[in-house]
Amino acid sequence: MAKDLAREVGYIYVDTGAMYRSVTLYALRGGLFNADGTIRTAELEARMPQIQISFQLNAETGRPDTYLNGERVEDAIRSLEVSSHVSPIATLPFVRTAMVAQQQLMGQGGGVVMDGRDIGTVVFPHAELKIFVTASAEVRAQRRYDELQQKGMPADYDDILKNVQERDYIDSHREVSPLRQADDAILLDNSHMTIAEQKAWLMEQFRRVAGS
């Protein structure tokens, strides 16, 4: 949804969730998770200056891909392993501080569509248009399952649903930048909307704010 809007209006698209997934992938690759699933926070914090996330347009798909220190990781960060570890990483204050700084740098000139769980409340609280998008956990799990199936990646619906529910709880209850709807955000529940209906609704909101 956000990617399509950015492409149609000529804005830059930034998937902040992909940024936290990239940090998670970095931590997994670097052995920064203990056997019990806890994080070696001191080591990760020391390495944060080495983690740079960027987005580059994929000429074949017409969509931006995520890069971790120059390596394309768009597919790797969508795995269930990364999904299962990302919420604990995203709750770490030093990780959020580093990622928010990178996000604000990307969007400081405007002309950006930014997608993430704290954009309207923390990253850009004065954004001209804030949309709080939601859907039932079951619908979101099915969408993720279908996405992984299309990419030929292993997927189990029940595992994905459990992961979605756990992430919602953790992200809503964390102390730093919890998931919540900004007071001036417009709520969109797209559980039962088609992609075409969703795009038309979003474009109407954009034109209302942009004045064109």
Give residue-wise pLDDT tens across range 166-207: 988 888 888 777 788 999 999 999 999 999 999 999 999 999
Helix (H, G, I), strand (E, B) or coil at 115: strand
Task: Tell me the pLDDT band of 212, cut-offs 50, 70 and 90.
Answer: low
Contact 42, 34 (CB under 8 A): no
Is residue 20 over pLDDT 90?
yes
> 4 pLDDT exceeds 70?
yes
Mean pLDDT value across the chain: 91
Look at 203 and 117; give whichever has higher pLDDT.
Answer: 203
| DSSP one-letter code for 110 | S
| Beta bridge partners of residue 12, listed in sequence order | 112
Measured CA distances, 84 to 66, 147, 150, 168 (Å): 19, 17, 20, 12
What is the C-alpha to C-alpha distance for residues 46 and 49, in angstroms, rounded to an integer? 7
